[in-house]
Amino acid sequence: MSSASLSRRQFLLLLAPALALVLLLFGGGLAYSVLQSLGWQPLIGRTTLSLDAYANLLFGPNYRDVFWSGLLFSLWVSLASTVLSAVLAVTVALLILQAAGRSRFWAFLLQFNLPVPHLVAAIGLLFLLSQSGLLSRGTAALGLTAAPADFPVLVRDTTGIGIILAYVWKEVPFIGLIVFGVLQTLNTSLVQAARNLGANGWQRFRYIILPLIAPSLLSSSLIVFAFTFGAYEIPALLGVRYPRALPVTALLLFNDADLNSRTEAMALSVIITLVTALVLGGYLWLRDSAPRVD
């Protein structure tokens, strides 16, 4: 017992420098953001702490419409991107697993766009799917549309289709590789036994494969949700002025010439962090409360 505790203590000591750096950078930045969201801006003579910024965002006439529409829009984009990415990733991972002899080749194709920055992906989709892009001009040249302007609006639209497509293109490989790694370690005898007992493909997936990949699928999907909910680049490039994603609004307020707007910007950033933390807390609660089969 003492040797185990000693090894654990040594492990924590080895991690201490990295943990201290993370706590200093993340914890310090978060604390500073919370203070500024409460009105602490000594550079412009504001040192009284209050919740006025949060009240302005939630109920104030200047911000409430922007905030609530942005919150719903950000949740819609993040949830849709996460669900679509997860479904497609599992489907692709299963197809690659069944591609006997060529699974390495298809797995390589799955991950080829992982190094591509999200901003580059957004620019590529803008050139491809906009009403003056390659597809719109191609459909007009083929006579499928009367003019490029008649092409369906897929980017810079109020429903966020272009943003969702960009996130799905980027996040499917991320989730897919994680799920594929778990599937490679799957005990095929369980699936074979279910097949011999008369279980169809959906039943084998529902009762055997899905429970085994669920932990990795949920954790990777949570990472995708947290990233898409707090990311700025793709919504700024492919989004519209209204509704506007919360991270875009936060950065615009932060860069406003009026330094008083920085309080609302920081309050908005704290709210984004709280929403992500609530989703994480819900996931941890579901994981811990789920029945375990020994």
- Give 79-107 pLDDT, tens digit per residue: 999 999 999 999 988 888 777 556 677 77
- Flag whether pLDDT at 187 surpasses 60: yes
Whether 294 is in a domain gets the answer no
Of the two residues 261 and 187, the one the predictor is more confident about is 261
Which of the two residues, 222 and 259, has the higher pLDDT score?
222
pLDDT of 186 higher than 80: no
Q: Specify if 248 maps to a domain.
A: yes
State the pLDDT confidence band at 148, using cuts at 50, 70 and 90: confident
Say how far residue 15 (Cα) sits from the centre of its chain: 27
* pLDDT at site 292: 55
If you average pLDDT over residues 238-251, what whole number do you get? 91
Q: Phi and psi at residue 187, in whole multiples of 5°?
A: -75, 100
Q: What is the pLDDT of residue 100?
A: 59
Domain containing residue 213: CATH number: 1.10.3720.10
Using the predicted structure, report yes or no on whether residue 228 has a pLDDT greater than 50: yes
* 26 inside domain: no
Position 18 in a domain = no
Sequence-distant (6+) residues with CB within 8 A of 151 are 131, 133, 135, 136, 139, 140, 145
Task: Give 41's strand partners.
Answer: 46
Residue 60 inside a domain? The answer is yes
Contacts of 262 (CB under 8 A, 6+ apart): 36, 41, 253, 254, 256
pLDDT at 39 over 70: yes
**Three-class DSSP category at 64:** helix
CB 194 within 8 A of CB 204: yes
Out of 101-115, 155-169, 195-209, pick the least confident. 101-115
Query: What element of type H or E holds 21?
Result: helix 2-22
Q: What is the total count of domains within the chain?
A: 1
For 156-162, what is the mean pLDDT? 89
Residue 229 sits in which domain range? 32-287
Whether residue 208 has pLDDT greater than 90: no
pLDDT at residue 101 in the model: 57
pLDDT at residue 2 in the model: 47
Residue 140 lies in a domain: yes
Q: Which residue has the higher pLDDT, 279 or 25?
A: 279
What is this structure's pTM? 0.85
Q: Looking at the domain assignment, is residue 11 inside a domain? A: no
The verdict on residue 6 lying in a domain is no
**Mean of pLDDT values over 284-288:** 76
CA distances from 190 to 2, 146, 195, 204 (A): 40, 55, 9, 9
pLDDT of residue 286: 75
* C-alpha to C-alpha distance for 39 and 270, rounded to whole angstroms: 13
Q: What is the biggest distance separating any 2 CA atoms in the chain, rounded to whole angstroms?
A: 78
